[in-house]
Amino acid sequence: MSEQEFKPVFSAYEGNLAGTLPEKNEGTINFYGLTQEDLKNFLKGLGKEQFRAQQIFKWVYDRRITDFDQMSNISKTFRDELKGLIDFNLPPVLSHLKSIDGTQKFLFDMGDGNSVEAVLIPSNDRLTLCISSEVGCNMACRFCFTGKQKLKRRLKASEIIGQFMQVHDRLSEGQRISNIVFMGMGEPLDNSDAVFKSVDILNDDFGISISRRKITVSTSGLVPEMWKVAAHRVRLAVSLNGSNDEIRSQVMPINKRFPLKDLLQACMDYAKETNDKVTFEYVLLKGVTDGLDQAKELYNLTRKIPCKINIIPFNEHPNSGFERPDDAQVEKFQNELIRLGAHVLLRRTMGRDIFAACGQLTSEFVNKPQKMDISNSKIGSIYTKNDMKKSQTQVPSNSTNSLV
Instruction: Name the residue nearer to ligand SF4 (CB basis): 38 or 187.
Output: 187
* Rounded Cα distance, 273 and 306, in Å: 12
Give the amino acid at 309.
I
Residue 240 touches which member of ligand SAH, ligand SF4, none, C-beta under 5-8 Å by kind: none
Which one of the listed residues 144, 267, 307, 358 is annotated catalytic?
358
Q: Are strands 278-284 and 215-219 parallel, antiparallel or unpaired?
A: unpaired
Minimum distance, C-beta of residue 184 to ligand SAH, in the bound complex (Å) = 6
Q: Is 283 in the site for ligand SAH (CB under 6 A)?
A: yes
Minimum distance, C-beta of residue 357 to ligand SAH, in the bound complex (Å) = 7
Q: Which residue is nearest to ligand SAH (CB)?
A: 359
Q: Annotated catalytic, 117?
A: yes
CA distances from 323 to 172, 286, 315, 365 (A): 37, 5, 8, 21
Stretch that binds ligand SAH, among 64-72, 88-96, 166-174, 307-315 (CB under 6 A): 307-315
Minimum distance, C-beta of residue 205 to ligand SF4, in the bound complex (Å) = 31
Q: Which region, left, alpha or beta, applies to residue 351 given φ > 0 means left and ψ of -120 to 50 means alpha?
A: left
Q: Annotated catalytic, 358?
A: yes
Instruction: Give the CA angle between residues 210, 212, 214 to the nearest 5°.
Output: 70
Minimum distance, C-beta of residue 180 to ligand SF4, in the bound complex (Å) = 16
Instruction: Give the CA angle between residues 331, 333, 337 to the nearest 5°.
Output: 115
Q: What share of the chain is helix, strand, coil (3-state, %, to 5)?
A: 35, 15, 45
* Rounded Cα distance, 268 and 278, in Å: 8
DSSP 70: G
Q: Is 179 in the site for ligand SAH (CB under 6 A)?
A: no
Q: Which residue is nearest to ligand SF4 (CB)?
A: 147
Q: Is 143 in the site for ligand SAH (CB under 6 A)?
A: yes
By the criterion CB under 6 A, which residues form the site for ligand SF4? 137, 139-141, 144, 146-147, 186-187, 220, 239
Give catalytic residue positions.
117, 358
> Which residues contact ligand SAH (rule: CB under 6 A)?
143-144, 183, 187, 218-220, 239, 241, 281, 283, 312, 314-315, 358-359
